[in-house]
Amino acid sequence: MIETIRQGLNADGYTVSIAKLSQWFNIPRRTVYYKPIKAAPKVNPRFVEPIKAMIEESPSFGY
């Protein structure tokens, strides 16, 4: 959102920094740069085989 506003102002001939826009809209500057990253699930190998065996033995467990 901030970057879109900044580009629109830039097209109109006004140069405004991200810091100034963040101040105007009362949001932290780091919010503009934040990119969410989803981490891959961590699997503990010592639990994989027993759980798979339990599921194959009784597929209705857990439901």
Identify which of 8, 39, 32 has the alpha carbon closest to the alpha carbon of residue 18: 32
Contact 62, 54 (CB under 8 A): no
Cβ-contact 6, 21 below 8 angstroms: yes
Residue range 34-53: mean pLDDT, rounded: 88
Give the tens place of pLDDT for each residue, 26-38: 999 998 888 888 8
pTM assigned to the model: 0.50
pLDDT-derived band of residue 23, with 50, 70 and 90 as boundaries? very high
Q: Tell me if 32 sits within 8 A of 22, measured CB to CB.
A: yes
